[in-house]
Chain A
């Protein structure tokens, strides 16, 4: 640097380059400052609004007891029988599909197919031994059922599967 000062008369272009670099740096930082989003870095290296975005998402499935208020009978029936631990929405659809602003919006579909029961109750490798499971063919043969797409409901009531059999 000292030497550049000595040859002052011949360093005009160097100073001009430096000035341009300086201006560029200022512009870069100014633009960056303007573009930093609102709420950046308040709680860490992120935008606080991102959390708000997540919170604004409406749940699709309801609460655990979201159906209870309007369907107390079914609720009672399910919760006091073998399927007490099942979510109503497993066999029906998510609550938000059915209800909006406290009123029924769309009829609630119901999965009546044997495949639904089979998902949980078919005897396959890996299921814990204590869990009630059946080989569907054998079970139907044993109980005397005729296979069809909704065969399980012929004998079992979905809400309380061991009550009122047949």
Chain B
């Protein structure tokens, strides 16, 4: 049975109100070991993301992997890496050449920096997300497991969600003319894999966790370490946490 028919039949079996249970094939080569999932029930998951800024080396492998995994068009980004160079309290230089698609070059004025660090950015998958709120046709939605996604078959391409996102995470895909954004690689995480950016990170600066999994190390870190979220004043409740983020990061 092909994966396609498998998925569709599983979906049809799930009536209104029932749990959305999706069978994921395990015979695939992609599924070798690791967290193998045979049946996917979105009620059994509640995802979260942790960015450990002190570990990020700014190689941009995550951006490259994301582009390849999701076919992100040039000049648009589902994830990107910023470099902050703080010279003194007043001057901070921030850059993200091509979203760090090809990593970073040596530097702008290389002298006199008091601190400098990289900050990976991606969609925060806010619990109270303004982007889903403003979508006039219900093409943006939040799944039960906490992922914000776009229905490309219903999106009218008005761009309201792009304007509403305070983090700049959304864009209008110039080919499909619909809104697009990070999905935490939903097609991967439902198969028990990590998002492409997490897998590509050589230093574990990007961590993907699941609150409902027992002893989830990422969830534990979020609970026990001093993490923060971006633009908390907007009360969007991001599900993406930052460990060791400077005050300049927003």
Contact = CB atoms under 8 A, between A and B. Distances in A.
Asked whether the complex places CB atoms of A and B closer than 8 A, the reply is yes
Given A54-B187, A55-B22, A119-B59, A61 B69 contact: yes
B106 A124 contact: yes
Greatest chain A CB density within 10 A among B40, B60, B151 is at: B151
A86 B201 CA distance: 7
A17 B149 CA distance: 45
Interface stretch (A4-12, A63-71, A152-160): A63-71
A57 B190 CA distance: 11
Contacts, number: 178
A141 B140 CA distance: 55
A122 B103 CA distance: 10
Contacts of B104: 124, 126
A102 B29 contact: yes
A94 B190 CA distance: 19
Given A53-B152, A120-B59, A64 B194 contact: yes
A147 B71 CA distance: 35
Interface in A30-76: 37, 39-40, 42-66, 68-69
B208 to A, nearest CB: 12
B103 to A, nearest CB: 4
Task: Specify the main secondary structure of chain B where it touches its partner.
Answer: loop
A125 interface: yes
Contact of A90 (B56, B102, B153, B200): B200
Interface in B210-227: none
Contacts of B143: 51
A44 B142 contact: yes
Interface string B1-22: 0011001100100111100101
B18 to A, nearest CB: 9
Interface stretch (B109-117, B121-129, B167-175, B233-241): B109-117
Given A60-B69, A60-B196, A95-B30, A85 B202 contact: yes
A127 B57 contact: yes
Interface in A84-140: 85-87, 89-90, 94-96, 99, 101-102, 118-120, 122, 124-128, 131
Nearest to B145: A51
A63 B26 CA distance: 12
6 contacts: A47-B151, A63-B32, A65-B33, A85-B204, A87-B61, A118-B103
**Interface pairs A-B: 7 shortest CB-CB:** A46-B141, A50-B151, A57-B187, A119-B103, A125-B107, A45-B138, A126-B116
